[in-house]
Amino acid sequence: MAFHHIPVLLTEVLSALAPQPGQVFADGTLGGGGHSEAILRALGDGTLYGIDRDPAAIAAATARLGAYPGFHAVSGNFHDVKELLPGVRLNGGLLDLGVSSHQLDTPGRGFSYHEDAPLDMRMDPTQGMTAADYVNTVDEQEFCRVLRDYGDEKWAARIAQILVEKRRQAPLRTTGDLVAVVDAAIPKAVRRKDEGHPARRTFQAVRIAVNDEIAPLEKALRDWVDLLLPGGRLCVITFHSIEDRIVKLTFRSLQRPCVCPPKAPICTCGRVPQGRAIGGAVKAGPEELRDNPRAHSATLRVFEKGEGL
């Protein structure tokens, strides 16, 4: 299957980043390469590092973007950007968080609740625990917390209870097994009223937990800002409220880092502002929402590195 991906908020990202010939950029979530290709067109003889932990994304993007002399594919997790790009300073960076269309549309990857497939969900299918490993070993109370925090699931306690009961009978192996847990936990009348698939929140929560998408995010954002040249910008696209909250609060902390008591006559903590958040949350417009349903939950935030840093 081709690695198909419609870049979300592309016009807004290009407007915020304003790539110019000769500059250096990094796309920390390369995916299908849609955002990267648009940036590369503007960079001319510039450089773009495309980072992704999914080997399929690296292979597909290399095939798509290999003709651009400034494109460099980098295999790894954007959380480790300083180790992946040692000594590099950036004019701009992009993080498009979440799961790609290709991953959702490839049944064997186990991200989708629409197809019965092995329960995997790993962004990098070569390492780490699978979703099956996770749901068959996670503590009931911890799973309840994950469903609430990462999936905004109102039926979290019931789903966690049913999960434990089901796996006592037989281990969960497939996406269909996990969907069956959700179906057994949520009353049919409630499921009929759900605007989307009742299992979508559970699958989202499990994916986030399996790929450890939340805990390292704040440090990663700070590292990306640290690599920016003065005046450089970082664009971050999120698809979940908890991710967006982390981005918003991290950008706010980078802009106003002082932790001195409010009534202190002078600042003694020594923390220096790293720049400023540009505007607020940016959402997709009506035309994009019509053409790309994935954009409905997308939120873009932008941070600009301060001068002299």
- pLDDT tens-digit map of 250-283: 999 999 988 888 887 888 787 889 999 999 999 9
Handedness of CA 112, 115, 116, 118 (dihedral sign): negative
Beta strands in 38-149 (DSSP E): 47-52, 71-75, 90-96
3-state SS, 171-240, equals CCCEHHHHHHHHHHHCCHHHHHHCCCCCCHHHHHHHHHHHCCCCCCHHHHHHHHHHHEEEEEEEEEEECC
Residue that wins the pLDDT comparison between 112 and 17: 17
SS3 241: helix
From CA 253, how far away is CA 233, in angstroms rounded?
A: 16
Question: What is the per-residue pLDDT for 187?
Answer: 93
Q: Give the separation between CA 193 and CA 215, rounded to whole angstroms.
A: 33
| Residue where a domain terminates, one of 210, 227, 251 | 210
Per-residue pLDDT averaged across 71-77, rounded? 97
pLDDT, position 3: 53
Pairing of strands 228-238, 24-27: unpaired
Q: What is the domain-level CATH number for residue 287?
A: 3.40.50.150
Query: 168 by DSSP, 3-state: which?
Result: helix
Q: What residues form DSSP beta bridges with 304?
A: 233, 276
| pLDDT at site 1 | 45
The total number of structural domains that make up the chain: 2
The answer to whether residue 158 is domain-embedded is: yes
Q: Are residues 143 and 67 in the same domain?
A: no
Q: Are residues 240 and 181 in the same domain?
A: no
**Would you state the pLDDT for residue 5?**
62
Q: Which residues pair with 96 in a beta bridge?
A: 237
- pLDDT tens-digit map of 76-101: 999 999 999 999 999 999 999 977 76
How large is the average pLDDT for residues 97-125?
84
Verify that 46 and 18 share a domain, yes or no: yes
Which residues are 52's β-sheet partners? 75
pLDDT of residue 62 exceeding 50, the answer is: yes
Residues 218 and 206 in one domain: no
Identity at 20, one-letter amino acid code: Q
Residue 308 has pLDDT above 80, yes or no: no
Residues 6+ apart with CB under 8 A from 212: none
Residues 170 and 188 in one domain: yes
Comparison of pLDDT for 101 and 16, the residue scoring more? 16
CA nearest 5: which of 74, 81, 105?
Answer: 105
Residue 58 lies in a domain: yes
Q: Kindly state whether residue 4 falls inside one of the protein's structural domains.
A: no
The answer to the question of residue 1 being in a domain is no
As a whole number, mean pLDDT of residues 134-144 equals 98
- Residues 168 and 19 both lie in one domain: no
Please tell me the predicted confidence (pLDDT) of residue 309: 66
Last residue of one domain, picked from the residues 181, 210, 239: 210
Q: What mean pLDDT value characterizes the chain? A: 93
Q: What are 134's two structure tokens?
A: 């996770």
pLDDT-derived band at 4 (thresholds 50, 70, 90) equals low
CATH number at residue 188: 1.10.150.170
Cβ contacts of residue 104 below 8 Å, gap of 6+? Answer: 111, 112
Asked whether residue 234 is assigned to any structural domain, the reply reads: yes
Residues 143 and 200 in one domain: yes
Domain boundary among 153, 187, 210: 210
Does position 287 have pLDDT exceeding 90, yes or no? yes
* Cα Rg of the chain (Å, integer): 21
DSSP code for 281? E
**Which DSSP state fits 98?**
S
In this structure, the number of other CB atoms found within 10 A of the CB of residue 245 comes to 11
Q: Which domain holds residue 189?
A: 125-210
Could you report the per-residue pLDDT of 149-192, keeping only the tens digit for each?
999 999 999 999 999 999 999 999 999 999 999 999 999 988 88
Residues 6+ apart with CB under 8 A from 306: 230, 273, 274, 275, 276
> Is 114 part of a structural domain of the chain?
no
Indicate whether 91 and 221 sit together in one domain: yes
Q: Domain check: are 172 and 255 in the same one?
A: no
95 forms beta bridges with 236
Q: Are residues 87 and 232 in the same domain?
A: yes
Q: Tens of pLDDT along 196-242?
A: 889 999 999 999 999 999 999 999 999 999 999 999 999 999 999 99
- Are both 256 and 280 inside the same structural domain? yes
Note the pLDDT tens digit of each residue in 17-52: 999 999 999 999 999 899 999 999 999 999 999 999
Question: Is a pLDDT exceeding 60 seen at residue 2?
Answer: no
Q: What percent of the chain has pLDDT over 90?
A: 80
Residues 28 and 56 in one domain: yes
Q: Is residue 251 part of a domain?
A: yes
63 within a domain of the structure (yes/no):
yes
Give pTM, 2 decimals. 0.90
Q: What is the pLDDT of residue 16?
A: 98
Alpha-carbon distance of 25 to 13, in angstroms, equals 13
HSE toward the beta carbon, residue 32, CA cutoff 13 A: 16
